[in-house]
């Protein structure tokens, strides 16, 4: 075995062992959530191919499916379009003893819908004006809300989208929006920056993950979630996230390269 392959094998073994330890912590967390009637809501946002699916998969892998749900809503129906914008998301919020993970959320309106002209200017600005009130109500109701944005570079997105097109097991991930993601890179950056500036609230801040390295991103999302929640028998030594990989949003990070341009 070459030194390179040996190093890669060792790194993969370290990743798997750390992931296993963190998944044990997630089981402890879920037990506490059940015993304390807690309500946990986690939103995952990011560009196409940023790693949302893979991160969510590692979080839920060994948890009880009765108390954890993944919400990945499809294209809204005509009925959805005639309803209050937040209505179809509200139906999936966590109740006592539950953790709910949104694979894309109401922030579709600030990203994909804005860039792809799937909403009007009036609807877009209405969203930005009202989302604080909505999230504030959720938090006041007792829901613990976490908002994660997985950030990748343009080159990394190009590689992942190309690999997705060539992998027969990932054909279901390909959509018309994926096909124009790179073309609209700048438009998505602008929409994302406005979203951060307008929706980074003290009661519901944005947490950014530098996700070009999928394994590091997964590990640090789990660490961050565990670090910020209280649960019985927490192993404090393994739940401290890397601040160079995961951090709260600040406007200066758009200028200094911490967030992709």
Q: For the chain, which residues make up each domain, given as ranges?
A: 3-254
* Dist. CA 155–CA 136, nearest whole Å: 37
Q: What angle do CA 97, 239, 241 make, to 5 degrees?
A: 115
- DSSP-derived 3-state class of residue 252: helix
Q: Which residues of the chain have pLDDT under 70?
A: 1-8, 173
Tens digits of residue pLDDT in 237-247: 999 999 999 99
Helix ranges (DSSP H) in 37-101: 52-60, 78-82, 87-90
List Cβ neighbours of 62 (8 Å cut-off, separation of 6 or more): 23, 26, 27
User: 0.75 exceeded by the pTM?
Assistant: yes
pLDDT number for residue 4: 57
* Dist. CA 125–CA 99, nearest whole Å: 30
Whole-number Cα distances in Å, 191 to 186, 196, 242: 9, 9, 27
Q: What angle do CA 251, 149, 9 make, to 5 degrees?
A: 120
pLDDT number for residue 257: 94
pLDDT number for residue 42: 98
**What's the CATH code, domain 3-254?**
3.40.50.300
Q: What are phi and psi of 201, to 5 degrees?
A: -100, 145
Q: What are phi and psi of 192, to 5 degrees?
A: -65, -45
pLDDT number for residue 179: 74
Report the Cα–Cα distance between both ends of the chain, in Å, rounded: 39
pLDDT number for residue 52: 98
């Amino acid at each position: 075995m070459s030194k390179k392959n040996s190093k890669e094998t060792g790194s993969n073994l370290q990743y798997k062992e750390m992931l296993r330890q963190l998944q044990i912590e997630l089981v402890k967390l879920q037990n506490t959530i059940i015993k304390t009637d807690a309500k946990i809501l986690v939103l995952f946002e990011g560009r196409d191919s940023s790693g949302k699916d893979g991160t969510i998969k590692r979080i839920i892998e060994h948890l009880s499916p009765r108390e954890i749900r993944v919400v990945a809503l499809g294209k809204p129906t005509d009925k959805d379009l005639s309803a209050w914008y937040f209505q179809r998301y509200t139906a999936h919020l966590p109740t006592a003893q539950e953790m709910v993970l949104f694979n894309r959320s109401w922030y579709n309106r600030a990203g994909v819908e804005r860039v792809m002209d799937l909403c009007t200017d009036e609807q877009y600005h209405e969203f930005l004006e009202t989302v604080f009130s909505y999230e504030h109500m959720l938090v006041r109701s007792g829901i613990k809300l976490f908002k994660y944005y997985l950030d990748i570079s343009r080159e990394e997105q190009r590689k992942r989208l190309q690999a997705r097109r060539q992998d027969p097991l990932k054909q279901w991930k390909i959509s018309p929006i994926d096909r124009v993601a790179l073309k609209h890179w700048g438009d998505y950056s602008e929409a994302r920056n406005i979203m951060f500036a307008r929706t980074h609230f003290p009661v519901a801040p944005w947490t950014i993950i530098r996700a070009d390295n999928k394994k590091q991103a997964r590990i640090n999302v789990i660490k961050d979630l565990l670090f910020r929640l209280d649960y019985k028998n927490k192993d404090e030594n393994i739940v401290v996230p890397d601040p160079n990989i995961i951090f709260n949003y600040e406007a200066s990070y758009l200028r200094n390269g911490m967030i992709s341009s």
